[in-house]
């Protein structure tokens, strides 16, 4: 959930607010909605889908940036947002203006009045799905040359699967959203890779991709060309995020090559590093000085992600004596993470979202509500490493006043020039 709510949010959340619990999200209802708004899910422009357990946002931003550098006007759907839901829908990496967002919300609201009863379609329209479908329609109507879509929750079970995905990007897959999109890594991988179908021509993935996801690609997308991305030198984000950024750049290169009938070529480190130096990824090892304290904020939710964030903090300097603020609800494996941290320099934070619980926090670790934890850190520490879920990162982004509007550093945005294509 974003840190701030807008009046235009209401239609996107209407059916979820009214019907979740007795019902679940409905793929058939999503198809009806797509027809109601006139969405072309197999458009004339290339569609790149991004799925995975971690690193999707980094790959999406990198894909968008590189396609823009190559001269394309790019529409992007990403999830979740940080500060407002406008961030979910971007034209050339910039969120919708609020006036356009409100107009889109009105269009969604009208389309919902044309829908059959929820009980007739076996479920409701999920907010993530409505942002995906309505956002894609908005972007296509604004004449984008390429569409980049991040899955909202899952692959085959998500609205991303409504689209013809010319290129599928698969970021690292692990036991995330267990019981929601699958009960095992194998089931989760099959759900995610199932976003693609027989129309998917290219699959791009990092060399670190797990066996289960590779097997899912082999079984579900046997006719797609595979592009395995080698681990790059550090692009300035640490090894995990750098890998996902490199994967995004590779996906853009593959898409460009397909459009130009060329053989795809690897993105050289020098070019990747130059691009990455202007790529802004809020919540991914974000360094900021606020409220008299140095902060490193990272939406790390796994042992590997936390280890990478701690290494990034060490390499950044000025965090040798840092305290740690952690927000990991019971859906995360907190036990595997805590043994990386110093108990006497760590506060475990809780939030008040109805769907999150923190009963797995050990009783002998300091635990405080987030607002109290922030006040305590301000009085106790000169540097803090903040780690947790995207919803926690959103609250921290608001507290730290992070710039979440720009993916590309202001002043360095490429100017799309169709003559270059």
Same-domain status, 270 and 299: no
pLDDT grade for 38, boundaries at 50, 70 and 90: very high
Name the residue range of residue 268's domain: 7-279
Total domains present in the chain: 2
Higher pLDDT, 421 or 287: 287
Q: Say yes or no: 336 and 267 in one domain.
A: no
Whether 274 and 300 share a structural domain: no
Selection from 135, 155, 162 nearest residue 51 by Cα: 155
In a domain, 410, yes or no: no
Mean pLDDT of 362-368: 96
Do 299 and 243 lie in one domain? The reply is no
In a domain, residue 411? The reply is no
d(CA 279, CA 67) in angstroms, rounded, equals: 13
pLDDT in tens, 233-253: 999 888 889 999 999 999 999
Residue 74, both tokens: 């790019």
Q: Does the pLDDT of residue 419 top 50, yes or no?
A: no
Please indicate, yes or no, if residue 160 is contained in any of the structural domains.
yes
Query: Are 318 and 241 part of one and the same domain?
Result: no
Largest CA distance in the chain: 63
Exposed / middle / buried, residue 390 (Cβ in 10 Å: 0-12, 13-18, 19+): middle
* 163 within some domain: yes
Write down the pLDDT at residue 421. Answer: 45
Average pLDDT score over the chain: 92
CA distance 269 to 158: 34
C-beta separation of 285 from 276 below 8 A:
no
> According to the model, what pLDDT value does residue 420 have?
43
In a domain, 352, yes or no: yes
Flag whether 293 is in a domain.
yes
Nearest to 210 by CA among 223, 192, 236, 196: 192
> Is residue 13 domain-shared with residue 43, that is, in the same domain?
yes
| CATH code for position 114 | 3.40.1190.10
Q: Give the global pTM.
A: 0.92
Q: What count of Cα atoms within 13 Å lies in the side-chain half-sphere of residue 190? A: 8
Residue 2: pLDDT above 80? no
Residues 200 and 297 in one domain: no
420 found inside a domain: no
Single residue among 279, 296, 324 that ends a domain in this structure: 279
Q: pLDDT-based confidence at 418, cuts 50/70/90?
A: very low
Q: What is the CATH number of the domain that holds 293?
A: 3.90.190.20
* Residue 295 and residue 273 share a domain: no
User: Domain check: are 60 and 21 in the same one?
Assistant: yes
Between 205 and 356, where is the model more confident?
205
For residues 366 and 16, what is the distance between their CA atoms, to the nearest angstrom? 35
Q: What is the pLDDT of residue 3?
A: 66
Q: Identify whether residues 275 and 290 lie together within a single domain.
A: no
pLDDT surpassing 70 at residue 269? yes
Q: Averaged over 206-212, what is the pLDDT?
A: 97
């Amino acid at each position: 959930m974003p840190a701030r709510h807008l009046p235009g949010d209401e239609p996107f959340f209407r059916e979820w607010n009214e019907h979740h619990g007795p019902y679940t999200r409905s793929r058939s209802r999503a198809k009806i909605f797509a027809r109601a708004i006139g969405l072309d899910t197999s458009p004339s422009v290339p569609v790149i889908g991004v799925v995975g357990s971690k690193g999707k946002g980094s790959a999406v931003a990198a894909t968008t940036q590189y396609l823009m550098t190559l001269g394309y006007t790019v529409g992007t759907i990403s999830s979740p947002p940080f500060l407002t839901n406008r961030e979910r829908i971007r034209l050339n990496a910039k969120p919708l203006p609020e006036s356009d967002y409100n107009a889109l919300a009105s269009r969604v609201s009208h389309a919902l009045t044309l829908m059959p009863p929820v009980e007739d379609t076996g479920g409701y329209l999920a907010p993530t799905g409505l942002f995906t479908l309505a956002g894609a329609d908005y972007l296509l109507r604004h004449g984008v040359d390429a569409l980049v879509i991040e899955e909202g929750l899952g692959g085959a079970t998500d609205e991303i699967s409504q689209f013809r995905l010319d290129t599928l990007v698969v970021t690292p897959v692990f036991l995330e959203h267990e019981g929601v999109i699958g009960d095992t890594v194998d089931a989760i991988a099959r759900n995610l890779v199932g976003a693609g179908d027989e129309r998917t021509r290219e699959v791009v993935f990092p060399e670190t991709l797990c066996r289960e996801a590779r097997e899912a690609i082999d079984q579900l997308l046997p006719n797609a060309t595979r592009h395995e991305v080698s681990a790059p030198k550090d692009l300035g984000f640490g090894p995990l995020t750098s890998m996902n950024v490199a994967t995004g750049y590779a996906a853009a290169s593959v898409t460009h090559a397909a459009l130009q009938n060329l053989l795809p070529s690897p993105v050289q480190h020098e070019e990747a590093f130059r691009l990455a130096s202007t790529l802004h990824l809020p919540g991914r090892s974000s360094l900021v000085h606020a409220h008299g304290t140095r902060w490193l904020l990272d939406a790390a939710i796994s042992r590997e992600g936390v280890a990478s964030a701690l290494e990034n903090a060490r390499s950044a300097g000025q965090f040798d004596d840092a305290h740690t603020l952690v927000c990991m609800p019971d859906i995360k494996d907190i036990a595997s993470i805590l043994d990386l941290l110093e108990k006497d320099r760590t506060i475990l934070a809780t939030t008040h979202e109805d769907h999150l619980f923190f009963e797995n926090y050990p009783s002998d670790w300091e635990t405080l509500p987030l607002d109290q934890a922030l006040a305590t850190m301000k009085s106790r520490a000169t540097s803090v490493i903040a780690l947790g879920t995207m919803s926690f990162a959103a609250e921290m982004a608001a507290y730290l006043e992070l710039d979440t509007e720009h993916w590309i550093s202001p002043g360095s945005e490429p100017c799309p020039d169709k003559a270059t294509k």
